[in-house]
Amino acid sequence: MYDFNNIYQPKTIEEALKMKSEHPEALILAGGSDILIQVRDGKLAGCDVINIQPLNELRGICVEDNGSILIRPLTSFSHITKNPIIEKFLPALGFAVDQIGGPQIRNIGTIGGNICNGVTSADSASTLKAYDAVLEIASVDGIRLLPYADFSKGPGKVDLKGNEILTGIRVPKESYENTYGEYMKYSVRRAMDIATLGCSVNVRLTDDKKSIDRVRIAYGVAGPTPMRVPTAEKLGNGKVITEQLITDIAEAALTDVKPRTSWRASKEFRMQLIKELCKRSLRTSIKKAGGTI
């Protein structure tokens, strides 16, 4: 049995927002793959929850009129991986969320819950940051748009007020058009394990495929929150593709990261992973984009 105090069951988004306004301390129950475990373990025993799982308006993926890809937060990992829009325009994201847990977890876990938890190891987080995702956050007072880059406030902390609910994740057209990416994850086990380190890279090459027009690099578990590495990105933008450039970019990535030692890995090992996964992801992304090294 799960120890809840109150369970609120909204039938519409409007009802959910009203309930969140009236009960700001209530937790949002989406897929439940994280929150239910914490309730069962006693960490969240006696909490209030607002169950938004039945709200189909918060589920699905589409391309909007301006070309942005809109992912609703209740979309499960499995549906993201298999969605034709994701497969065509954001396959790196589909691959990233396919690394989460096992099939059962991917069937119930949601992308909204994954990023709202605020954990640095979230497999979707680094790819969404690398693609400059923008979050749609709603309350009874209206909707605000927030760059995902500004959402993380610390370990397990995000910029989500007590009366707000995440209602959309957008990837702008200019962030994915003619862009090719790769996500790589290192973990102790190959299945159902939290990332020791994750790296997401995407590149857009010049028309002649000889230079990097733009590169984006983001990491999970390289610091207290998912993070981009602007020093490395700036170094790579506009440069002719060479093996030395890839090495230099990977070295520059160390400037912005803040890994720590934990029971999963030492800081020194994570620093090595930061360089190595960056190089591998860059090479793969460049090849996908039609470039050669």
- Each residue's pLDDT tens digit, 38-91: 777 777 778 889 999 999 999 999 999 999 999 999 999 999 999 999 999 999
pLDDT given at position 12: 97
- Residue numbers of the domain that contains 123: 60-174
In this structure, are 170 and 186 located in the same domain?
no
* Ranges 40-49, 71-80, 126-135, 168-177: which has the least confidence: 40-49
pTM of the predicted structure, to 2 decimals: 0.93
Give 151-172 as a DSSP string. Answer: TEEETTEES--TT-EEEEEEE-
CA distance readout (Å), 256 to 53, 56, 161, 200, 242: 38, 40, 28, 15, 23
Helix axis angle, 243-253 to 267-288, nearest 10°: 140
In this structure, are 224 and 160 located in the same domain?
no
pLDDT given at position 197: 95
pLDDT tens-digit profile of 17-32? 999 999 999 999 888 7
Provide the domain count of the chain. Answer: 3
CATH number at residue 129: 3.30.465.10
Beta-carbon contacts of 43 under 8 Å, excluding residues fewer than 6 positions away, are none
Q: Quick one: what percent of the chain has pLDDT higher than 70? A: 99
Band (pLDDT 50/70/90 cuts) for residue 105 is: confident
In this structure, are 35 and 80 located in the same domain?
no
* Residue 135 placed within a domain: yes
- Evaluate if residue 145 carries a pLDDT over 80: yes
Q: Which residue in this structure is represented by tokens 């406030």?
A: 153
In this structure, are 193 and 103 located in the same domain?
no
pLDDT tens-digit profile of 54-69? 999 999 999 999 999 9
* Residue 52 placed within a domain: no
- The residue from 174, 198, 233 where one domain ends is 174
